[in-house]
Amino acid sequence: MKYRITHSTLYDYSQSVGLCQSEARLQPRDFWRQRTESSYFEITPMPTDYNERTDFFGNRVAYFAVQKPHTKLLVTVISEVTLFPKQNNSGVFNQLSWEQVQQTLQGNSMSMQFQSFGQQSQVQGLACSLDLIEAKQYILDSPMVTVSAELADYARISFQPNRALVEVVYDLMSRIYKDFTYDPTFTTIATPLSDVLRFRRGVCQDFAHLAIGCLRAYGIAARYVSGYVETLPEPGKARLVGADASHAWFSVYIPDLGWMDFDPTNNKVPHDQHITLAWGRDYADVTPLKGIAFGGGQHTLSVSVDVLRLTDTH
Amino acid sequence: MRNNSSANDIGTQYYATQLGIYDEMYANEIKALPYWERFMAALDKMGTENLELRRREAQRLLRENGVTYNVYGDSQNLTRPWRLDPVPLLISSEEWVVIEAGLKERAELLDLILKDIYGKQTLLKKGLLPAELVFGHEGFLNPCVGALQKQKHHLTIYSANLARGPNGRMWILDDRAQAPSGSGYALENRTVMTRVLPDIFRQTQVHRLSGFFKYLHKGLVDIAPHKKDDPRIVILTPGPLNETYFEHAYLAAHLGYTLVQGGDLTVRDGKVWLKSLAGLQPVDVILRRVDDSFCDPLELRNESKLGVAGLLEAVRRGNVAIANPLGSSVLENPALMAFLPRLARYFLNDDLKLPSIATWWCGQARERDFVLQNIDSLVIKPINRGIGNHAVFGGILNNKEKDYLRSQIIAKPHNFIGQEQVSFSTLPAFIDHKIEPRNAVLRSFVVAGNEGYDVMPGGLTRVARQKDNFIVSNQAGGISKDTWVLAAEPDKPVSLWTQPKRNQLIDADTDALTSRAADNLFWVGRHLERTEAVTRLLRVILIKFREVFEFKEPHDEACLHVLLRTLTQVTGTYPGFIKCDEKFIKAPETELISLVKDGFRRGSLTANIQAFFQAAFSIRDLWSQDTWRGVDNIQRRWQQRTSNVDLGIEQLPLHLDDLLTGIVAFTGLTSESMTREAAWLMLDSGRRLERALALISLLRSTLALRHEDVLQNQVLESVLVATDSLTIYQRRYRSYIQLPLVLELLLLDEAHPRSIAFQLHQLSVHISALPKSKKKSQITAEERAILKAYTDLKLSNVLELTQVNEDDGVYQQFEELLANTTDLLWRLSELIAEAYFSHSQTSQLMVHSTPEDEL
């Protein structure tokens, strides 16, 4: 499955901006389910300084600076991505209970070291433990997700004793889908998770954060994924160009299997319609576009996203 | 040897140590250690009274040098004087060898850990450091992974707090690794000690501290990117509100670095630049005193106003070096101490020479259970320092609090450690005329050199004010001490100056004045001048007030009312005497006192002096020692004189005279000691601008309206007195006081330093001397504004100016000229700010604040 994504952000200032530095995580990363064929920026005014790198989580980051006075800044990214719809179905059959996973993640790194030494499976054991060490950071509190007793209470029903972790997460995802109202007027980026939980409203970011907090409350590693989802027009209506949006969901670490994605906003396991941009502990790690502008007065912001499925030519 | 004189009681025989506690002087023995015995004998010989005099002398020197420690949440009294006990901590050379080796080893070890955490992370991969310990600490900044540059050492400065346990061994209490403070205070303590105890200091062979600062400078030059020989080094401070701001300014002045705040720097083309009056200057090395997560609002804490956007990117590209590197506070995680013995064996194949205080990290099941069981005898600390995160002595909690703490530990065990409660050693301290034992902590300083690490032979010793108090901190009002490391042989003095290679010519660095410093200088000038103008006017008013009271002449009273209304105008404290009932202006005392001492009232003398002091304090590093004493003198004496609740109007003239003397002294010092470069131009421009504005305000308010002759003469005389011009007038014109002649002197006489023409002329000279971005042939907007004001004034004619409009009694042209000049001067002030104070432009964060999806 191939997609072309066009994501534009326009800043309009009431006064001139003399210098603006930005950081963008808007280019899709590669992993087993996804390959980026091309991805490039079109920025006006043209930045004087532009540099790409890979961040700590392996995401693609672009740093750019506009160093001459401007009153408008337009940042467009055009990417073409191929998805391989070979969703790792073994996940469904993974029967590791959540308690087992919790134990594995809590395991003392020292004892693991001894397991992996002097064994035939040394290399494999080490690779596995590296995965595990990396996963550990996703159990801890992060800037926007702090584990609380309230989150643990909400999640408790899903965490039945000896239940397979995969089942727990499916259950949690569908409960969030049912219990929470999608309401873009209710929250902003700054709305705390406790408000989302109390009023049972929010948007995809809130639902992803909520699920992540619930899982971490039980010692399960969960991370935040930012990206896009293909939307299909209602039957009989034409597709609206630019009416799509950024999206967010979460991913759970399952030992022996790896990371498995879940989309609580749509109650779906991402398959061939979810395009991944970046992942991290929460939104703060993967903010698609942020910047610091000097001057500018008031600013308005408009965003347009277009996710276009390309017809297969082969 | 016993000294039997009863007048003194500071010999060792009067010193009451506590049972079971190690004392520095006795080291568990019955008799004091020989070097302490010698020192105490010298004090004893000096006598209590004499020692108290020396202690006071030390306090005076510290205060005059502006050595302060800011206490948060103390806005009324921003700075607290630094306290120094004249009895130092003595450390023998044999013992110092052990401490020094231990500190060097620890710095090496922490440096290797830092390099690993922000590099290959082998320690995590091998399980030598638990992932939760590193990732769970707020000091771990993931954007900094991979950003370390090729340097021999990354940890340029390191500092540790040490204390001696009951067994006589030195322990490390905690590590300071991101922006250690205290080395400047240690140096200043030493400077003062050599002045107040010169005899004892000379008799005792003490290691000098100056070598440390030479090494520090060298260490900073070494890390400059691209191996520059003469890199530009700046000290990044959070600003004058920071608790150790004095030290930032002090080190900047001592080392010859520019003191900057985040707004003084900018990142362009991936490089760091200093915004100076003469444009952007490249910066190579930043010695930072800003916490690392605040240093870059783009990649680290978005809400930070203390940092520089894009700084981390400049680091990543190898264009700037920061000491210590961003992210090094990860080493301040107290849980790390539990793993250091293991890491010392791994990296150095050695046991730690100096042990850390026993620490159990609750992230491991066994240690957590130990801490939970022994909560009564341990100190429990969260690994992250922050609001509401305090160390807790388990033993003093009640059962309910204990249960709560336990539940917190069980919920997030990796966030807590337990530490052994140690009773530190005591040492003699001179408190309330007596020598008494006090618990002490020594902060030591280490700097990276080419060969390895160098340790300051000395440090900052601090003791608690109260007996039996283990919490020794400056915020809690502790007292500092000098630390004397005894040398086996006399130590040679070290000069900070480096010898250039052969006869290498070095460019004089004349234009590194930051635009923020320029802004502050401008306002120092303005606030000071405004203070002077108000003071002089108040003096005239008080004289008139007395005359009214004594002679009861109606003309005196009318003149007083004119002057009182003028005071309201000049200070901008409306409605004041302008729109008030008869009663108010007839009993002006309350309002006058308020205009003198009410610090919360804008326009009052106290408010102006406070503003002057704040602006001067913000650029503390730029003032010479003598000039700063002048600043301090104005502010402190005024505070002393006016803080009295029953300040009466009769005492005011004396206080005002005293204030004027202080102002004149400061003005004289600056004009005698400042080079005629950008800093002077800014200071004097502020002063000239304000003097012109104040004088115009005075003239408009007193003379724009015609008075009958007798009153007019009185008002004219008062104006001449208020502008310190009466003597000149009398000498020059010898005749009656006449309006045209007064105006000629105060408006147009360019030779008279109090005239408006003089101020405008000076301003135009200063402004054309300021650095410009435009070509020489082009005239700037600032130059145009001042030229217009100056020309308009020069073209005016005294006879025309004194033509009165018979309908309303207003000197029409005079009023128009002054109004016009005022407008131009205000415009000029704005233009100067736009052109030179570019730091004042604020930045804003651009992120989505609305939800991103619409699914």
Tens-place pLDDT, residues B745-795: 999 999 999 999 999 999 999 999 988 765 667 888 999 999 999 999 999
Q: Which architecture, in CATH terms, is A90-270?
A: Roll (3.10)
Percent of chain A residues past pLDDT 70, beyond the cut? 89
Q: What is the pLDDT of residue B68?
A: 76
Distance in Å, alpha carbon of B364 to nearest chain A alpha carbon: 8
Angle at the Cα of A283 from the Cα atoms of A282 and A287, rounded to 5 degrees: 140
**Burial label, B115 (beta-carbon count in 10 A; 0-12, 13-18, 19+):** middle
**Burial label, A10 (beta-carbon count in 10 A; 0-12, 13-18, 19+):** middle
- Nearest in space to A141 (alpha carbons), one of B414, B211, B667, B325: B414
Cβ atoms of B427 and B25 within 8 Å: the answer is yes
**Residues of chain B numbered 259-298 and touching chain A (CB < 8 Å):** 266-270, 297-298
SS (H, E, C) B485-539: EECCCCCCCCCCCCCCCCCCCCCCCCCCCEHHHHHHHHHHHHHHHHHHHHHHHHH
Residue B278 CB neighbour total at 10 angstroms: 14
Cβ atoms of B746 and B699 within 8 Å: the answer is yes
Distance in Å, alpha carbon of A314 to nearest chain B alpha carbon: 32
Domain ranges of chain B: 86-335+424-485, 358-420, 515-840
Report which secondary-structure segment, H or E, holds B100. Answer: helix B93-117
For the ranges A133-137, B577-581, B776-780, the maximum mean pLDDT occurs at A133-137
Report which secondary-structure segment, H or E, holds A5. Answer: strand A2-24
Distance in Å, alpha carbon of B35 to nearest chain A alpha carbon: 49
Distance in Å, alpha carbon of B143 to nearest chain A alpha carbon: 6
Task: Name which of A112, A245, A301 is nearest B127 (Cβ-Cβ).
Answer: A112
Question: What whole-number distance in Å separates Cα of residue B814 and Cα of residue B818?
Answer: 6
Q: Judge whether residue B1 has pLDDT over 50.
A: no
Q: Is B852 on the interface with A (CB under 8 A)?
A: yes
Selected for mutation to probe chain B from A7, A10, A11, A21 (highest B CB count within 10 Å) is: A21
Q: What is the pLDDT of residue B424?
A: 85
Task: Name which of B131, B135, B845 is nearest A292 (Cβ-Cβ).
Answer: B845
Cβ atoms of B161 and B442 within 8 Å: the answer is yes
Residue of A nearest to B122 (CA): A130
Question: What whole-number distance in Å separates Cα of residue A305 and Cα of residue B389?
Answer: 43
Question: What whole-number distance in Å separates Cα of residue B70 and Cα of residue B238?
Answer: 13
Q: Is B135 on the interface with A (CB under 8 A)?
A: yes
Q: Is B301 on the interface with A (CB under 8 A)?
A: no
Cβ atoms of A165 and A254 within 8 Å: the answer is yes
Cβ atoms of B286 and B323 within 8 Å: the answer is yes
List chain A residues with CB under 8 Å of B404.
Answer: none
Poorest-confidence range of B18-27, B259-268, B609-618? B18-27
| Mean pLDDT for all residues in chain B | 89
Is this model's pTM higher than 0.90 or not?
no
Q: pLDDT per residue over B512-558, tens digit each? A: 788 889 999 999 999 999 999 999 999 999 999 999 989 888 899 99
- φ, ψ of residue B539 to 5 degrees: the values are -60, -45
The residue behind tokens 């600032």 is B782
Task: Name which of A11, A187, A229 is nearest B846 (Cβ-Cβ).
Answer: A11
Task: Name which of A20, A21, A136 is nearest B132 (Cβ-Cβ).
Answer: A136
List chain A residues with CB under 8 Å of B310.
Answer: 21, 63, 65, 292
Q: Which residues contact B514 (CB under 8 A, 6 or more apart)?
A: B258, B260, B264, B274, B275, B276, B277, B839
Residue B205 CB neighbour total at 10 angstroms: 16
Q: Do B855 and A130 touch (CB under 8 A)?
A: no
Residue B76 confidence class, pLDDT cut points 50, 70, 90: very low
| CATH of span A2-84+288-310 | 2.60.40.2250
Task: Name which of B142, B414, B846 is nearest A293 (Cβ-Cβ).
Answer: B846
List chain A residues with CB under 8 Å of B850.
Answer: 184, 188-189
The two three-digit tokens of residue B502, written as one number: 């052969």
Q: Do A49 and B270 touch (CB under 8 A)?
A: yes
Cβ atoms of B262 and B254 within 8 Å: the answer is no
Q: What is the pLDDT of residue A54?
A: 97
Task: Name which of A137, A205, A294 is nearest B131 (Cβ-Cβ).
Answer: A137
Average pLDDT for B630-648 = 88
CATH 3.10.620.30 domain span(s) along chain A: 90-270
Q: Do A63 and B842 touch (CB under 8 A)?
A: no
- φ, ψ of residue A262 to 5 degrees: the values are -140, 140
Q: Do B125 and A133 touch (CB under 8 A)?
A: yes
Question: What whole-number distance in Å separates Cα of residue B140 and Cα of residue B150?
Answer: 20
- φ, ψ of residue A57 to 5 degrees: the values are -90, 0
- Nearest in space to B172 (alpha carbons), one of B360, B464, B444: B444
Cβ atoms of A252 and A260 within 8 Å: the answer is yes
Task: Name which of A48, A205, A295 is nearest B851 (Cβ-Cβ).
Answer: A205
Three-state secondary structure call for residue A233:
coil
The two three-digit tokens of residue B349, written as one number: 């194949």
- φ, ψ of residue A147 to 5 degrees: the values are -65, 135
pLDDT: which is higher, B388 or B794: B794
User: C-alpha B2: how far from its chain's center?
Assistant: 46
List chain B residues with CB under 8 Å of A139.
Answer: 132
Label the pairing between strands B426-431 and A2-24: unpaired
- Nearest in space to B294 (alpha carbons), one of B283, B305, B284: B305
Residues belonging to chain B = 855
Q: pLDDT per residue over A23-78, tens digit each? A: 999 999 999 989 999 999 999 999 999 999 999 999 999 999 999 999 999 999 99
Residue of B nearest to A247 (CA): B853
Q: pLDDT per residue over B105-119, tens digit each? A: 999 999 999 999 999
**Burial label, B234 (beta-carbon count in 10 A; 0-12, 13-18, 19+):** buried
List chain B residues with CB under 8 Å of A115.
Answer: none
Average pLDDT for B573-595 = 91
Question: What whole-number distance in Å separates Cα of residue B191 and Cα of residue B185?
Answer: 10
Poorest-confidence range of A100-114, A292-306, B644-658, B711-725? A100-114
Q: pLDDT per residue over A231-250, tens digit each? A: 888 888 777 776 788 999 99
**How many Cα atoms are found within 13 Å in the side-chain-facing hemisphere of B381?**
25
Q: Do A245 and B855 touch (CB under 8 A)?
A: yes
The two three-digit tokens of residue A255, written as one number: 């030992």
- Asked if residue A45 has a cis previous peptide bond (ω within 30° of 0), the answer is yes
Q: Do B131 and A65 touch (CB under 8 A)?
A: no
Label the pairing between strands B79-81 and B416-420: unpaired
Q: Is B549 on the interface with A (CB under 8 A)?
A: no
List chain A residues with CB under 8 Å of B135.
Answer: 136-137, 140
Distance in Å, alpha carbon of A269 to nearest chain B alpha carbon: 16
End-to-end Cα distance, chain B: 90
Q: Which residues contact A184 (CB under 8 A, 6 or more apart)?
A: A203, B850, B851, B853, B854
The residue behind tokens 């009861």 is B552
Q: Which residues contact B214 (CB under 8 A, 6 or more apart)?
A: B494, B495, B496
Task: Name which of A20, A140, A205 is nearest B136 (Cβ-Cβ).
Answer: A140
Question: What whole-number distance in Å separates Cα of residue B518 and Cα of residue B679?
Answer: 6
Q: Judge whether residue A279 has pLDDT over 50.
A: yes
Task: Name which of A48, A110, A245 is nearest B853 (Cβ-Cβ).
Answer: A245
Residue of A nearest to B414 (CA): A140
List chain B residues with CB under 8 Å of A65.
Answer: 267-269, 310
pLDDT: which is higher, A246 or A188: A246
Give the CA dihedral B693, B698, B700, B706, nearest 10 degrees: -160
List chain A residues with CB under 8 Å of B142.
Answer: 55-57, 285
Report which secondary-structure segment, H or E, holds B658. Answer: helix B652-673
- Nearest in space to B274 (alpha carbons), one of B298, B257, B292: B257
Q: What is the pLDDT of residue B647?
A: 85
Whether ipTM > 0.90 holds is yes
- Nearest in space to A290 (alpha carbons), one of A46, A21, A32: A21
What's B329's DSSP letter?
G
Selected for mutation to probe chain B from A17, A64, A108, A109 (highest B CB count within 10 Å) is: A109
Q: pLDDT per residue over A299-314, tens digit each? A: 899 999 999 999 765 4
Q: What is the pLDDT of residue B385?
A: 82
Selected for mutation to probe chain B from A72, A117, A133 (highest B CB count within 10 Å) is: A133
- CA-based diameter of chain A, in Å? 67
Average pLDDT for B414-435 = 90
Q: Do A288 and B127 touch (CB under 8 A)?
A: no
List chain A residues with CB under 8 Å of B302.
Answer: 290
Q: Domain B358-420's class?
A: alpha beta
Burial code (b: 16+ CB inside 10 Å, e: under 16) for B480-516 equals bbbbbbbeeeebeeeeeeeeeeeeeeeeeeeebbbbb
Q: Do B853 and A289 touch (CB under 8 A)?
A: no
Selected for mutation to probe chain A from B134, B135, B366, B846 (highest A CB count within 10 Å) is: B846
The two three-digit tokens of residue B559, written as one number: 């003149």
Q: Could you write out the DSSP letters of every residue in B231-296?
A: --EEEE---TTSTTHHHHHHHHHHHTPEEE-GGGEEEETTEEEEEETTEEEE--EEEE-S-GGGS-
Task: Name which of B143, B270, B298 is nearest A292 (Cβ-Cβ).
Answer: B298
Helix intervals (H) in B552-604? 554-571, 582-586, 589-597
Question: What whole-number distance in Å separates Cα of residue B500 and Cα of residue B492?
Answer: 21
- Nearest in space to B162 (alpha carbons), one of B246, B87, B98: B98
Three-state secondary structure call for residue B143:
helix
pLDDT: which is higher, B256 or B855: B256
Task: Name which of B125, B309, B855 is nearest A292 (Cβ-Cβ).
Answer: B309
Q: Is B648 on the interface with A (CB under 8 A)?
A: no
Cβ atoms of B437 and B16 within 8 Å: the answer is yes
The two three-digit tokens of residue B693, written as one number: 């504005």
List chain B residues with CB under 8 Å of A137.
Answer: 131, 135
Going along B339-494, which residue ranges are E strands? 359-361, 378-382, 392-393, 416-420, 426-431, 434-448, 453-455, 460-463, 479-485
Q: What is the pLDDT of residue B27?
A: 84
User: C-alpha B565: how far from its chain's center?
Assistant: 39
Q: What is the pLDDT of residue B87?
A: 95
Task: Name which of B136, B268, B848 is nearest A67 (Cβ-Cβ).
Answer: B268
